[in-house]
Structure 1
Amino acid sequence: MKSLLKVSCVVTCLSALTACASLHDVNNKWCPPEVAPAPVIVPPPAPAVSVERIELSADALFKFNKSGINDLLPEGRSKLDELTNRITTGYVTIEQIRVTGHTDRIGSEQYNQKLGLARATTVRDYLANRGVNTTIEVASAGESQPKTTNCVGNKPTPALIACLQPDRRVEVDVQGIKK
């Protein structure tokens, strides 16, 4: 009988407490305080990392068949200054920069590999000396990734040199978060 009475009391108390849940205007001691649910905070989406490829004509940057800092043409220096400004002001963060030198097919494969790397190294050094403060990788594709397909001949005639012009380039890949 005692245990039946205890069960009855517990049921009555639970019923009273359950009834309190619907009472919003009454502040009774037996009702637990209402707690507002915690606001759901959704973090803003992370900025997207992008890779931007900037292609510079080697003929605009360097004298033909040259690669050193003293071989940069005035137009080339101007293009590199524009690129420096674009990199230093256009990105919140930069994760990586890769500079790849490309050549045409005139000359040996080994020579062209070295020429492409020398051009990429010169561009890297120029950017670093102008305030691009990040690690810049250099590479050479040499003559292995031509853009031209219809240039005829193997001797460096003015016509062939002009035809192969699109193959001579430096590509700068900037990976980072843009502003």
Structure 2
Amino acid sequence: MPIRFASSALAMALLAAGALADASAQTQLAPPQARITDEVIAADLDAYQALQERLRALNAAGRPLRDYGMAKAQCWLDVSFHEYTRNDRSAFPQAALAESEKLVVLMEQGAHPLPTETPLVNDARYLRDDLWQRLRALQAGPAAACAAQAVACGEVELVHAGNEFNQQQWRHAKPYIQMAEDLVNEAEAAGRQCAVAPATAEGVAATAPLDPLVANVLFDFDRHAYGDIRTYSLESLDRALARIQAEGLSVRAVEVIGHADRMDGRGHDYNEALSARRAETVRAVLVGRGIDNALISYAYRGDREPVQRCEGVKPRAALLECLLPNRRVEVRFVVARPDR
């Protein structure tokens, strides 16, 4: 959500003057050790407010909120402010604020196209390669404009999660990973809603392929039974099924792919078999939820395709929790619109 403060003299002065900062300008927050007085904190809040007002001015001038640059600048601003108010004493609040301001400056100057790279500021850990790949596919796909807002914020939340991972490991990164997952799903849903291409030369409407719906069902360490599934990951599966119904899609096929983490004390073959048993468990779950068994294919990959690496994470309990996304069954619903 956008940050809302009382109007500040600094923000009003910026807007009244119509000042455009040059590309090297950067709002500076007070050093962490100086954030101990009301006056210093108030000045920092004024700085946040001033940048928020510049975004509001861009929107008032006609730049839509769903625009990639607007959305990304807002999300960088929001995560910076979130961590500032949580008393994050690292370089992250300043670095995220700087990324927001860079985009604001470029938009104020009418730059086109805007950059799409997403730096891992403050040396944030690169987490969840699968989510990054889905976001890149959306950004390069035919429905990029429709998905732009959720893509932009999904990228920022993955960086936010990586920063939290560095500071307090996986337990503190998880809420932001969940936010990123939700944003990726929202982006893919938005992309499906505008997946119809313009008419061809023959006058026949061409339909772009619909992105599959993806859900990951997660298992406890060295477990594969239904009772070993993390409950919230089953909820993500049910949300995917509900979205299929809400969007009026038909399921053409379901791909179920089992995985294991790298903790293979019993050997490579054991992890291969464990991932197969997990895939079979999820196949049974899908049949129980009304999916035709004939539509389901399943495969198993053992520990060959991790989406999260947890180098240096200790103790063992923290490492096992960090590796949880690798103990997954990926469910891909291949969907189409019934009338196409």
Does the TM-score normalized on the shorter chain lie above 0.5? Answer: yes
Counterpart of 1:165? 324
Residue 145 of structure 1: CA displacement? 0.8
Alignment-derived partner of residue 175 in structure 1: 334
Q: Check the 8 A contact 1:151/1:163 in 2, yes or no.
A: no
List per-residue Cα deviations over 1:62-111 (Å, max 9, x = no partner): 33321112333433433332233234444533322101111111122111
- Alpha-carbon separation, structure 1, partners of 2:240 and 2:269: 29
Question: What is aligned with 1:111?
Answer: 270
Gaps of 5+ in 2: 1-201
Question: In proportion to residue count, which structure has more helix?
Answer: 2
Matching residue of 2:205 = 45
Q: Which runs of 5+ in 1 are unaligned?
A: 1-41
**Which structure carries more strand by proportion?**
1
Structure showing greater relative contact order (alpha-carbon pairs closer than 8 Å, 6 or more residues apart)? 1
| TM norm structure 1 | 0.61
Q: Classify 1:57/1:150 alpha carbon distance in 2 versus 1 (closer, same or farther; 3 Å).
A: same
State the secondary structure of the residue aligned to 2:207: coil
Specify which of 143, 146, 152 is matched with residue 306 of structure 2: 146
Q: Which amino acid is 2:317 matched to?
A: P
Q: Which residue of 1 aligns with 2:249?
A: 92
Q: Is contact 1:101-1:116 (8 Å) kept?
A: yes
> CA distance change for structure 1 residues 88 and 123 in 2, over 3 Å: closer, same or farther?
farther
Equivalent position amino acid for 1:146 in 2: P
Tell me, what secondary structure is at the counterpart of 2:250? strand
Q: Which one has a bigger Cα radius of gyration? A: 1
CA contact (8 A) 1:88 1:132 kept: no
Q: Shift in Å at residue 54 of structure 1? A: 1.4
Q: SS of the residue aligned with 1:166?
A: helix
| TM-score, normalised via structure 2 length | 0.34
Aligned alpha-carbon RMSD (Å): 2.9
**Which is worse superposed, 69-78 or 110-119?**
69-78
Asked whether the equivalents of residues 53 and 174 of structure 1 are also in contact (C-alpha less than 8 Å), the reply is yes
**Residue 296 (structure 2) pairs with residue 136 (structure 1):** yes
| In the alignment, structure 1 residue 64 sits paired with structure 2 residue 221 | yes
Partner of 1:82: 239
Matches within 5 A, 1:7-26: none
2: CA distance, partners of 1:150 / 1:63: 17
The count of corresponding residues between Structure 1 and Structure 2 is 134
